[in-house]
Amino acid sequence: MSVIGRRPSWDDASIPCDPWSRGYSVLELVFVVGLILTLTTVTVPNMLMALDDYRAAGAARYLSARLQRTRMEAVSRSCAVALRFNRPAAGQYEFAMYVDSNHNGVLTTEIVRGIDRALGPAESLADNFAGVEFGALPGLPSPEPGGTPPGDDPIRLGTANSATFTAIGTSTPGSLYVRSRTAQYVIRIFGETGKTRVLRFNTRTRQWEHL
């Protein structure tokens, strides 16, 4: 019987198999899955650390900008304006800006009495930067050679926990320590100029670096 013109069937043994259509062996699948897991194990922690550092750096820059805004308010109003830090019981630090209404300085008693009024609502770093807070990594050294380490006090502004700026731009000197899970930053305030500087702590070299 002639087979001229007969269409070949897919199960015809005479048709050679396409080597790319045979799928993957179990060994190949195990190798690919293992490679994916290895790459994930290496890259994911690095990505998380980078994101952690990015948030902490953003919070430090934001806080530095808030301090400079407070300085500008003091100069433009020709009176003292303070950025005050407060920690409610069992809560995170909050900060808000207050203006001296009677030219005797921004005082806690006058804030309570409503004389020195707030220029906006209180806020915390976590409002805009998840996982970031005021704090210091264990054993953190001072950014200033021979200076006092922060210990468990991340707001180094004296007993009032307030950075007060004057009408001529000077301010309370001090340091504000900001950290995330793995990253550490400090915002330094220079009293004679009222300017700020942000530093990052390198955990490998144990040194402070300019941001």
Domains and CATH numbers, the chain: 25-210 (3.55.40.10)
**Can you give the pLDDT of all 211 residues of the chain as single tens digits?**
555 555 555 555 555 555 555 556 666 666 556 556 555 555 555 676 778 899 999 999 999 999 999 999 999 999 999 999 998 877 889 999 999 999 999 999 999 999 999 999 999 999 999 999 999 999 999 998 888 899 989 999 988 899 999 999 999 999 999 999 999 999 999 999 999 999 999 989 999 998 8
Give the pLDDT confidence score for residue 97 in this predicted structure: 97
For 42-78, b/e burial (b = at least 16 CB within 10 A) is: eeeeeeeeeebbebbbbbbbbbbebbebbbebbbeee
pLDDT of residue 4: 54
Q: Which residues pair with 84 in a beta bridge?
A: 96, 162
**How far, in Å, CA of 151 to CA of 139, rounded?**
7
pLDDT of residue 187: 97
Judge whether 56 and 179 are in contact, CB under 8 Å.
Answer: yes
Q: What is the pLDDT of residue 107?
A: 93
CA dihedral (86, 87, 88, 91) in degrees, to 10, reads 140
